[in-house]
Chain A
Amino acid sequence: MPTRRLTIVLAEDSLLLREGLASILDRAGHDVRDSVGDADTLLAVVHKDPPDVVITDVRMPPGHSDEGLRAAAAIRAELPAIGILVLSQYVADAYLSSLLETTSGGIGYLLKDRVGHVAEFLESLDRVADGGTVVDPEVVRQLLARRRNDGPLAALTPRELEVLALMAEGRVNASIAEQLVVSEAAVRKHVGNIFAKLRLDDGLDRRVSAVLTYLRG
């Protein structure tokens, strides 16, 4: 359950979902400071008093296109300390790419179905608040299905790809080990190999870089 009490701004145009989300977050002991129904209000509210985390829908008024996503990008550019969790109805990687272009963590992209798995959802929220990257397992699964013959991922073994996919979901080594039914030491070894093969610098948050490399395919 929550490690700390987060201030949250919620942007979702469907009243039904907004109420549902607010009650889930309330129960978990978070402080839903504002819940808004469109992107402009979201930006205004966030500017006035920055929260810890913004949870936003992709599609919002006035255009019912990807206003939520664009608002998220704007917030990220101005106030990079705010964690951003995007909830989407689509498994589309086009949205994800545009979200990840300017970022290195503190970001999440989840399908709305995932909110129903309350414990997992709250865990993801915490990770985003702590500067981690969380990507929906379904999206990850689809990206994994993209068997590219080229690109940096070609060098990885299937097992390493699996580990990377779980990293993309935002899991720590212990959780990956549990999921794959292997020892944590084995996971560490795989993670080391992945870093080496993707030639990641030490200075960067390598875990996030690995995930980003992965997502950019």
Chain B
Amino acid sequence: MNTSPFHEELLRMKRRRQLYSMAVVAIVAAVIVAGYGQANSMNSGGFLSGLQQFFDYPGEIVVEAWQAGPAFFGLLIRFLPALIETLNIAAVATILGGLAAVIFAFLGASNLNVWPPAVPVARRLMDLLRAFPELIVALFLIFVLGTSPVPAMIAVALHTTGALGKQFSEVNENIDRKAIEGLEAVGASWFQRMKFGVLPQVLPNYLSYFMMRFEINVRASAILGFVGAGGIGSELRRTIGWGQGSGDETAALFLLLIMAIFAIDQASSWMRHRVSGGGLPA
């Protein structure tokens, strides 16, 4: 057999691929360079002048916190309720959104035969819930319901339903059919098949995604507080907006938020490792 045309074909393909890679790298580099130039010109302050004062604000905060001395710990305790409120918003939203996501995920998984006509409907609904930025829903609900943590909670829950629903339904679709077939063979009902064949397979992954989502939602809740939903975000807006003299309070709030995020991060990665037995990439 003559292999030389085959070999040439291979070389040609290789050259073409190299050309493509070079082109992609060149485009990306051009986008980054041009983009930073453009962004710099659109910004109200310049990059170079900003670089000099980059540490001014963090420095100011740290100095004021230092000057506050032992009273700083008092501030930490004073802002604890605000942190708890933010955590509550995130937790309730993750629980409610997560429960809704389980239902959507079962309806939207094509291999579980819950109710075939509902599969595309559930999927589109999840897409829509995901695409809607939480911020918009929260601002709208604040307008109707008034300033309270509940609008933020609802907004985050709706987004969670879309985001977790998609991940859950992917988990559902990747299950091993053998367990279901085995249960079917012994005459198990649909409910029994789900309970003994599907849930044990999907629950560890569900829990792992659920914890990750809780982490994300803590951040989202803190940000929504900034636009008027209460919690640590609204305290931050107050102290930062106040301008001079509240740097110690800002520092206390930053510290609380960072510690909370760090603690949740550690706890959830520990839990994920335990549940998945280290088999899943975290």
Chains A and B belong together in one complex: no
A positions within 8 Å CB-CB of B: none
By a beta-carbon cutoff of 8 Å, the part of chain B in contact with chain A is: none
